[in-house]
Amino acid sequence: MAERLTIAEVGRLTGLASHTIRFYEHQFPKTLDVERTPGGHRQYRARHVEALHQIVHLVKHEKLSIREAQARLGEETPASSRGAARADAPAVEALQQSLTMVLGKLEELCCKNAHLDTLVANLLQQAAAPGRDALLAEIARYREENRRAVRVYEEFLQRGNRLDEPLPTT
C-alpha cells in the first residue's frame, strides 16, 4: 500500500463512498485525524484504512450507534467535550421521566393486546355464547384505549421529545 492515499483510493480499499468517509472523518476526528496537503486535499495512511474498517465493523456488524462507536473508540462526543451533560441534567432527567411514562404506557398496551388476544380466542370458541356481546364490547373498549396510547406516543415523537409541556394521559 502506498504511504499516502487519496480519498478515492481509500474508498476502493474500504468499499466506502467518499461522502461516507468524510462523514466518518467528521464523527471520529481523533481516530481519523487525516492530514491535508497545502491545497486542502486529504492524505490518508494505512492506519486510517484500518480505523475505517474498525468503524464499519462496529457500526455495521456489531450494530452500534455512532455515539456508541465513538465511545468504544475513545472519541469525545460533542456533549461530553463541552460538559453539556452536567448542564442539561434537569432536562435529561425530565426526558427520562417522560420516556419512562411512554414506555409504561406501551407496556400497558402490550398487556392489553395480550388480553385482547385471549378474549378473541374465547370469542371464537364460543361464537354463539350468551356473553359474546359483552366480549365484543370489552374488545372495542380495549381497542380505543390502545388508539389513545398510540396517539400519546406519536404526539411525543412529533414534538421532537420536547419537554416544554406535559404529555397527555390516556
Q: Would you list the domain boundaries of the chain?
A: 7-82, 88-158
Angle of helix 89-125 relative to helix 132-158, nearest 10 degrees, comes to 160
pLDDT of residue 100: 63
Element (H, E) at 43: strand 42-43
Residue with cell 388508539: 147
User: CATH class for domain 7-82?
Assistant: mainly alpha
pLDDT-flagged residues of the chain (< 70): 1, 77-88, 96, 99-100, 103-104, 106-107, 110, 127-128, 154, 157-170
pTM, full prediction: 0.47
Over the stretch 51-60, which tens digit does the pLDDT of each residue have? 999 999 999 8
Element (H, E) at 154: helix 132-158
Over the stretch 73-88, which tens digit does the pLDDT of each residue have? 999 765 554 455 555 6
